[in-house]
Amino acid sequence: MKRLLATTACAFTLSFGAVAVQAQSSTAITLSQDEWTVLTMAPDGSWGAGTDLFVNRAIAQAIRMCQAMSGERLGCGAVHVSVQAGWSLGIRCGDENILAADRSLETAERIARERELDLRYVYERDMTPCRRVVTVDPGGRVIAPEPAPQIALPDSRVSGR
């Protein structure tokens, strides 16, 4: 009788463990169908954007596009942002580049504005006005840049400013 109970308990434990492992493995490997968008800017202001299901391919596309615009072998790809199904912004303030990316355009703009304020008020008080040179939408399409430079003002909704 003891042997029967032990065998039954062992079989029950093994079958329960197999079900748990099977349930975990089906959710552990899931690939997102959202494409990655990568935006890179070189120190001279040249930029490139790439979109692909694989982030490494998107990075390579962005670097190639930037190099074609720049004509330089170095500088493109040193700084880049990446996001899945989100917005990417490239902003130029004199010789400074600001890159920001997020799923939400509003959040990406807030990130860029906060970076500009940090640069302007902490590091470079005489920094020239900033101009958005590139915006990439969640589908990887480039949107026309802003026509005039702008200076970010502290946002009253941002704490500590």
- Residue 138 maps to a domain: yes
- Residue 156 maps to a domain: no
Residue 81: strand pairing partners: 39
24: containing domain = 1-30
If one counts the domains in the chain, the total is 2
Task: Specify whether 2 is located in the same domain as 23.
Answer: yes
pLDDT of residue 39: 98
Residue 89 has pLDDT above 60, yes or no: yes
What six digits make up the tokens of 120? Answer: 């302007």
- Residue 155 maps to a domain: no
Task: Specify whether 112 is located in the same domain as 47.
Answer: yes
Mean pLDDT of 18-30: 47
Contacts of 48 (CB under 8 A, 6+ apart): 39, 40, 61, 62, 63, 64, 65, 66, 67, 68, 69, 76
pLDDT of residue 66: 95
Task: Specify whether 46 is located in the same domain as 19.
Answer: no
Task: Specify whether 7 is located in the same domain as 61.
Answer: no
